[in-house]
Amino acid sequence: MRVRILGKSPAWQDVDGACSGYLVEEDGYTLLLDCGNGVFGKLRAHMDYVDLDACVISHCHADHTLDLVPYSYALSFAPRQQPVPVPRGRAPTTRRDRSSTSRPGARRSCARS
């Protein structure tokens, strides 16, 4: 297992830093633990953000969540990722689950009719 510290600043971002964000990698699976301000840019320096398998938020303080906004915009409006599948109900456990929108209860976000 590898853990990369993307950000560890307090509630305000250090110069050239980022608030809480940790990239956890094991056996080809990548998880982002927290996505505080500045983390999305740091994540992009290490990997393509569309290849992230999961994001877990430890708690709902702004310094742990603010970069979910630009991350969601990138997933929603990046031309190569239209539309983004978003399952309802349980969280997806594999890439196959994430890419499938044919199972009951699944829907696509940002899809235009």
Number of domains, the chain: 2
- DSSP-derived letter for residue 8 is -
pLDDT tens-digit map of 84-100: 566 666 655 555 555 55
- DSSP-derived letter for residue 96 is H
The whole-angstrom separation of Cα 12 and Cα 6 is 15
Same domain, 39 and 55: yes
Same domain, 75 and 103: no
φ, ψ at 47 (rounded to 5°): -165, 165
Closest CA to 13 of 40, 52, 33, 32: 40
Report pTM: 0.67
Tokens of 90: 């349980």
Residue 2 parent element (H or E): strand 2-7
Q: Dmax of the chain from CA atoms? A: 46
Q: Say yes or no to pLDDT of 108 above 50.
A: no
Same domain, 67 and 31: yes
Positions marked active-site: 63
Question: For position 99, what pLDDT does the model report?
Answer: 52
CB-based contacts of 16: which residues, under 8 Å, 6+ apart?
none
Cis bond upstream, residue 83 (ω within 30): yes
pLDDT tens-digit map of 19-78: 999 999 999 999 999 999 999 999 999 999 999 999 999 999 999 999 999 999 998 887
Which residue range forms the structural domain that includes residue 72? Answer: 2-82
Question: For position 110, what pLDDT does the model report?
Answer: 42
Question: For position 112, what pLDDT does the model report?
Answer: 44
